[in-house]
Amino acid sequence: MPYLFTSESVSEGHPDKIADQISDTLLDNFLAFDKSSKVACETMVTTGQVVLAGEVKSDTYIDVQQIAREVINDIGYTKGEYRFSGDSCGVISLIHEQSPDINQGVDRATQEEQGAGDQGMMFGYATNETENYMPLALDISHKLLIELAKIRREGKEMTYLRPDSKSQVTIEYSDENVPQKIVAIVLSTQHDEFDENEADMLATIKKDIQEILIPRIKNQLPEKLQDLFTDDIIYHINPTGKFVIGGPHGDAGLTGRKIIVDTYGGKGAHGGGAFSGKDPSKVDRSAAYAARHIAKNLVAAGVADEILVQVSYAIGVAEPTSIFVDTYKSSHLNISDGEIAKKVAQIFDMRPAAIEKRLALRNPIYRETSAYGHMGKTPRTVTKIFESPYSGVVKHEVELFTWEKLDYVDKIKEVFEI
């Protein structure tokens, strides 16, 4: 019997995502000037205020207040009427030194034996229903808000848009797990005050979403996915009505509170650990990226149509305590999922230091991950410039989203004899 599945996304202007972006930009600045930095940085935003907290061990010093303000302005909170702007908000820093009790469990005589920065389990997921091996409902949810932000920045259409927004997409699947159609799209966007009454305002926003935004999204998709956009889609646009008060003035935001948006939109599983503000010694982040890298390469190699990979760690211990694989009965091989997991352990070194090296994670690459999902984006090389009043200017050429590279497909085919 056909079934429905739903995923959501939030924009870069959502309060929780503001917090994530500040935390990851602070991390990038620490890594830019000291690659060995250990960082666990949390951010809270609310009306007119930013609070920075957490633990850092680093040989560099950065202007955390100025960095936070720059991030807020970049997102688009630049006006006093938002009750939150980069130029006027207060920024309080409560960041302090990392606990030596934690650090002794991570640092080792040799880098290869570096212990995991925490215990826990991490998951990676991939499916062949999209070109980027991501769940379709989440992929479209992200695209809706990425494009809405582009329209806002272009300033030519929908000029009433403000930075805060959320999306949600519901898709009908067949018994064979094939997407059939989009059933519903929910989109709430913050906006300026309108001169007309609320009913006219909502009609204008709904019309613009359907006639400006949706066609731009369809043009980004392959034809078979464009066909999922039928005339029967139920649209819930700003379903509560007026949405002028938003951002941190409407809701407080916290680092790490959108972990399902950050990963797979509810598909697969999640171990519970957040990503943003954490350096790669924290396996909450690095092992989750490594698990995605494994799952994506396995699916691309033809091992299965859909794969979940779990890895787990004990704090201070280098070798993982377990590696688990679930192919959801979509495997194309005549071996069990347990046997697949054993071969995965042979191919991929999952010690924290090996993950850092394989995916080049000790680089300032994290600001780009902190909105619209950490998974599913296109790997690319960029040059980033960082400036500190204490350490001068540094330039880094870095590769973003290395965990999305399909660089192990041939090796997997060889080991699995595909």
- pLDDT at site 110: 58
At residue 109 the predicted structure's pLDDT band, cuts being 50, 70 and 90, is low
Q: How confident is the model at residue 229 (pLDDT cuts 50, 70, 90)?
A: very high
Q: What global pTM score does this model have?
A: 0.95
| H-only helix segments in 266-394 | 283-301, 337-347, 352-358
Arithmetic mean of pLDDT over the chain: 94
The packing angle between helices 337-347 and 283-301, to 10°, is 110
Task: For residues 240-247, give the mean pLDDT.
Answer: 90
**pLDDT more than 90, % of the chain:** 89
Evaluated on CA atoms 77, 22, 251, 211, the torsion sign reads: positive
Residue 353 annotated as lining a ligand binding site: no
Classify residue 272 as left (phi > 0), alpha (psi -120 to 50) or beta: left
Is 242 labelled a binding residue?
yes
278 carries a ligand binding annotation: yes
- Residue 264 DSSP code: T
Decide: helix, strand or coil at residue 386.
Answer: strand
16-110 folds as: GMP Synthetase; Chain A, domain 3 (3.30.300)
277 dihedral zone (left: phi>0; alpha: psi -120 to 50; beta): left
Residue (of 143, 188, 142, 138) closest to 161 by Cα position: 188
**Fold: same for 3-8+136-245 and 120-128+257-416:** yes
pLDDT value of position 62: 94
Region for 243 from its dihedrals, namely left if φ exceeds 0, alpha if ψ lies in -120 to 50, beta otherwise: beta
| Terminal alpha carbon distance of the chain | 33
Residues belonging to the chain: 418
Amino acid symbol at 76? G
Q: Which helix (H) or strand (E) holds 373?
A: none
Residue 135 has pLDDT above 70, yes or no: yes
Cα–Cα distance, 165 to 70 (Å, whole number):
20
User: Residue 368 above 60 pLDDT?
Assistant: yes
- For the domain made up of 3-8+136-245, the CATH class stated in words is alpha beta
Residue 279's nearest CA partner among 106, 396, 52 is 106
Residues carrying an active site annotation: 14, 16-17, 42, 55, 166, 243, 251-252, 257-258, 278, 282, 284
SS3 assignment, position 120: strand
Is 264:138 a contact under the CB 8 Å cutoff? yes
pLDDT at 111 over 70: no
Distance CA 135, CA 139 (A): 6
The pair of structure tokens assigned to 261 is 């948006």
User: What's the average model confidence in pLDDT over 45-63?
Assistant: 95
- The domain locations on the chain are 3-8+136-245, 16-110, 120-128+257-416
164 assigned binding-site residue: yes
Q: Identify the architecture of domain 120-128+257-416 in CATH.
A: 2-Layer Sandwich (3.30)
Integer Cα distance of 188 and 348 in angstroms: 42
- Please state the rounded mean pLDDT for residues 264-281: 96
3-class DSSP state for residue 185? strand
